[in-house]
Amino acid sequence: MKNFQGPSRRFASLLGLLLACGALVVRAQAGAKPAAGSDDVVKLDEFKVTGKIDSYYQSASSMASKLPMDLKELASSLSILNSSAITDRNAVILTDVVAYVVGATASQNSVNGFSFRGFPNTGSYTQNIQFDGLQGATLKKGGSSAANVDSLEFLKGPNGVLYGQMNPGGLLNIVTKNPKEIHETSVRVTVGTFAGKFNGFADKMVETVSFDTTGPVGSGKHLFYRLVVDTGHSPNSRPGNWNNALSIYPALTYKWSKETQLSLKFEVSEDFRRQDDGVIPIFTNGVAFGPTATYFTAPLNTVYNDAKDKATDRGSAAALKFQTTLGTDWTLRLQGRSVWHLDVVRELTVNNANTFNPTATFARPTSTLRRQYNYVKNGHRYNFVDANIFRTFTTGKIKQIVLLGIGGGGEFFGNARLAFGPNQTVPQAIALVNPLLDQVADYPSPAVGVTNQVTWQGAFGQYISDQIKIGDALNLSLGYRHDRQRVHGLNTLNPALTTFATELKANTKQLGAVYAITPAISAYGSWSQSIKPQTNIAYDINGNSSFPPETGEQYEGGIKFSNAARSVNVTLAAYEISRTNVVVASGTNFTNSVGSAQVGQAISRLDGKQTSKGVEFEVQWQLVPNLQLQAGYAHSKAIIAASTRNPASVGLDLANAPRDSGNFWTRYNFVTGELKGVGVGSGLVYIGKAWAGDPTTTVYYNLPGWARMDSSVYYKWNRYNVALNVQNLLDRRYISSAQSALTLNVGEQRKFTLSISMRL
């Protein structure tokens, strides 16, 4: 345990501090007097044991149309994990629950490290991650805390009309917690450990604490606050891994009236961790492409990074949201989000084909690793706003809600490569199996491959949508957007050769229809588009960066069922998404300056078209108040559909896009007898066989499918909620995904997490 005394001391100190703050808040709340003339008295609820479970189903959302709408009336697929579903999985970071979203597949542990419907969301930018409707993550490579999350909304497919630039697979909207009008204060403590094949029980500890307080400021009835603090030590099960994080979320809301209010939300977050590039596939027959490629890995507890290899994330954000009515007809909404972010990685990386010795594009049993020195600082600045106004019009049996809006802003991305080499010398190379680490005290000097790529991206769009309800059965949705986007940048160390600029003007459209066959069953169909400029730090083999913008288009249809009590909810969807002008990494880097590209920069290539076709099934069923389940299944085929430069790749699957995936979760609470107040939960996650690498290169190989079982036990006593979660109950050993063409992510070992929530 000695290796974790430092984090444990910090954890104990922070826990004591937050409990002291909580005691002060409770005293302040207890001593607060009701406003003059008010009969309201703030008091804590009396304890009552109940077997009822809060429903996992959320019947309405504003994400798909930017208007509050019933999910049955939406002509699209929208999956929601509400606060009850997130809490029952005992999530510490958001990646803990992504596997329980139908159609989403995790590929990395970063905030955008997942795919929607076969299309990845990873990259230099995070267009597909929204925070209360606007983009801009404070942490990019670290896992975002779940402490300030009210719900997660996964809107599938391209939705560029309302949200502008995006990847076509879908959007994740993180709905954060709002101030409440009544006093509430709670503390949640989690303690976890691993007990798998490579970890003895309590060899490595997970320790987190979160504090959440909200209510009116003073005795007034207009100003309300919320403060969420989350901190702790959350390593994964990999040997030597550590991860320390802290997030603070203050928020204020001022309500002039029911119709007019202003909210301000802030965030300060940081994440410090040991860098881990995963494990390496070692090919045994000289072939690393296709179904005949055979490979093995070193034992799954093998680490190739030195202890000094570290990564940090820091970020802060400020968000504003204002809403009011104009007269009695129009509702005006204005929101903005500004983010500052910096992440730093300094390591001896194995995530590069040039590291194998003798030089090869992939590892062989006789290879050793001449790890490459990599020192990168990525800085982001996001400043985005969105303003819209809507009104309801009624003409006979036709009811319309017309929404007019403008949105846009700017993003700065600074990619400073302070080193992209050299490789270690041959005598310093490490073995692929049983590597001997930490033999070199300092990183190599001088560094090579130094660049400082800066990119500015500006966007401005105007949009209109019309939600039309005809009678009681038919709902139509129409939308149109015009965008103007400009991207420019340069390598400041070589501006004469690296300056670039691109500008696009684009129109995106969408339409949909929902028809209520019966009060319980509705059928829907939709068509939607998206567009996204390239990251523009990508270079083709000739050193050019003028790739055309990427576009997306989707056709979707399905059936939705909800009974009158909303205790049974089913969605069946079929879709086809086309993605054109796709830039993909070739897996190699420039060894000489070519065109505008410098030594060490990645070589990319353009593929003509990718498609994803599939079906998805989701069900939420609360049979009785003390028993409910969620389940889902997805079958998809995400492939390269056309490629002028790589015609042999047509028909091959995209990386990290399994054909089949599914999940199941159920919870039961005992309502009588000695076990009254006890609940049990059980879950299953399945990810089918997928591919790793790039079908347009020489490294492209199978990843076996895997399944994981999770389990939970809950107990509510007085003001305490206690939960024990076991992730990967059977301790299955598996590769969860491909981090890159040459490195693989290892699935977590069996993990126990005990959480205690206390309402103060």
Bridge-based pairing state of the strands 114-116 and 295-296: unpaired
Q: What is the pLDDT of residue 38?
A: 37
For 730, other C-beta atoms within 10 Å of its C-beta total 10
Cα 642 to Cα 581: distance, rounded to the nearest angstrom? 10
Cα 76 to Cα 560: distance, rounded to the nearest angstrom? 10
For 221, other C-beta atoms within 10 Å of its C-beta total 12
Q: What is the DSSP string of 456-474?
A: EEEEEEEEEEEEEEETTTE
Cα 660 to Cα 534: distance, rounded to the nearest angstrom? 30
Q: What is the pLDDT of residue 304?
A: 96
In this structure, are residues 489 and 500 in contact, taking their beta carbons and an 8 Å threshold? yes
In this structure, are residues 412 and 455 in contact, taking their beta carbons and an 8 Å threshold? yes
For residue 612, name the pLDDT band (cuts at 50, 70, 90).
very high
Q: What is the pLDDT of residue 467?
A: 95
- Beta strands per DSSP E along 705-760: 706-717, 720-727, 735-738, 744-746, 751-759
Choose the weakest-confidence range: 126-140, 512-526, 696-710.
Answer: 126-140
DSSP state of 697: S
215, amino acid identity: G
Q: Which residue has the higher pLDDT, 418 or 497?
A: 418
Q: What is the pLDDT of residue 536?
A: 60
Q: Which residue has the higher pLDDT, 715 or 645?
A: 715
Q: Is 674 helix (H, G, I), strand (E, B) or coil?
A: helix
Peptide bond into 358 cis (omega under 30): yes
- Beta strands per DSSP E along 396-519: 398-423, 430-431, 451-470, 474-491, 500-516
551, amino acid identity: T
Summarised one tens digit per residue, pLDDT across range 137-166 is 888 776 678 889 999 899 999 988 999 888
The position carrying tokens 């070199």 is: 440
Q: What is the pLDDT of residue 344?
A: 95
Cα→Cα distances 530→399, 650, 655, Å: 28, 23, 21
Q: What is the DSSP string of 422-450?
A: EEPPGGG-EESSS------SS--SS--S-
414, amino acid identity: G
Of all helices (H) and strands (E), which one includes residue 5?
Answer: helix 5-31
Summarised one tens digit per residue, pLDDT across range 58-96 is 888 888 899 989 999 999 999 998 888 888 888 877 777
What percent of the chain lies above the pLDDT cut of 70? 91
Cα→Cα distances 452→381, 449, 471, Å: 16, 10, 59
Choose the weakest-confidence range: 8-17, 287-296, 349-358.
Answer: 8-17
Q: What is the DSSP string of 272-340?
A: EEE----B--EESSS--BSTT--EE-S-TT---S-TT-EEEEEEEEEEEEEEEEETTTEEEEEEEEEEE
Cα 201 to Cα 388: distance, rounded to the nearest angstrom? 54
The position carrying tokens 């290899």 is: 309
Q: What is the set of domains in the chain, with CATH numbers?
A: 2-302+313-759 (2.40.170.20)
Q: φ, ψ for residue 675 (rounded to 5)?
A: -95, 10
For residue 657, name the pLDDT band (cuts at 50, 70, 90).
very high
Cα 483 to Cα 502: distance, rounded to the nearest angstrom? 14
Q: What is the pLDDT of residue 31?
A: 45
Q: What is the pLDDT of residue 587?
A: 64
In this structure, are residues 56 and 628 in contact, taking their beta carbons and an 8 Å threshold? yes
Cα→Cα distances 484→458, 459, 508, Å: 8, 6, 11
The position carrying tokens 């993909």 is: 584
C-alpha 5: how far from chain center:
31
Q: What is the dihedral of CA 399, 172, 663, 756, to 10 degrees?
A: -110
In this structure, are residues 457 and 415 in contact, taking their beta carbons and an 8 Å threshold? no
pLDDT at residue 601 greater than cutoff 90 = no
Cα 10 to Cα 171: distance, rounded to the nearest angstrom? 36
Nearest CA-CA partner of 143 in 249, 229, 230, 245? 245
Cα 686 to Cα 386: distance, rounded to the nearest angstrom? 38
Summarised one tens digit per residue, pLDDT across range 12-61 is 444 454 444 444 444 444 444 443 333 333 333 333 444 567 888 888 88
Cα 760 to Cα 757: distance, rounded to the nearest angstrom? 10
- What integer is the mean pLDDT of 537-558? 84
CB-neighbour burial class of residue 176 (10 A; exposed 0-12, middle 13-18, buried 19+): middle
- Beta strands per DSSP E along 38-101: 60-61, 69-70, 78-81
Q: Which residue has the higher pLDDT, 636 or 540?
A: 636
C-alpha 241: how far from chain center:
22
In this structure, are residues 97 and 81 in contact, taking their beta carbons and an 8 Å threshold? yes
In this structure, are residues 535 and 149 in contact, taking their beta carbons and an 8 Å threshold? no
Q: What is the pLDDT of residue 5?
A: 39
Choose the weakest-confidence range: 52-56, 107-111, 319-323.
Answer: 107-111
The position carrying tokens 């500008």 is: 503
**Sheet strand arrangement including 114-116:** 104-106, 114-116, 119-120
Q: What is the pLDDT of residue 535?
A: 61
* The two three-digit tokens of residue 334, written as one number: 């204005």
Name residues whose C-beta falls within 8 Å of residue 518's C-beta, 6 or more positions apart in sequence: none
DSSP state of 497: H
For residue 443, name the pLDDT band (cuts at 50, 70, 90).
very high
Of all helices (H) and strands (E), which one includes residue 150?
Answer: strand 149-156
Q: What is the pLDDT of residue 119?
A: 87
Q: What is the pLDDT of residue 504?
A: 83
Q: What is the pLDDT of residue 122?
A: 62
Nearest CA-CA partner of 319 in 67, 64, 131? 131
- What integer is the mean pLDDT of 598-613? 81
User: For the chain, first and last CA: distance in Å?
Assistant: 32
CA angle in degrees (0–180, nearest 5) for 284-287-290:
115
- What integer is the mean pLDDT of 365-379? 94
Bridge-based pairing state of the strands 170-176 and 129-131: parallel
For residue 126, name the pLDDT band (cuts at 50, 70, 90).
low
Cα 605 to Cα 640: distance, rounded to the nearest angstrom? 13
Name residues whose C-beta falls within 8 Å of residue 20's C-beta, 6 or more positions apart in sequence: none
Summarised one tens digit per residue, pLDDT across range 190-220 is 999 999 888 888 788 999 999 999 999 988 8
Q: What is the DSSP string of 370-398?
A: -PEEEEEEEEEEEEEEEEEEEEEEEETTE
In this structure, are residues 280 and 297 in contact, taking their beta carbons and an 8 Å threshold? yes
Cα 700 to Cα 398: distance, rounded to the nearest angstrom? 54
Cα 430 to Cα 54: distance, rounded to the nearest angstrom? 53
Name residues whose C-beta falls within 8 Å of residue 674's C-beta, 6 or more positions apart in sequence: none
Mean pLDDT for the chain?
Answer: 87
- What integer is the mean pLDDT of 417-444? 93
For residue 435, name the pLDDT band (cuts at 50, 70, 90).
very high
Cα 168 to Cα 158: distance, rounded to the nearest angstrom? 4
C-alpha 448: how far from chain center:
33
* The two three-digit tokens of residue 269, written as one number: 């977050």
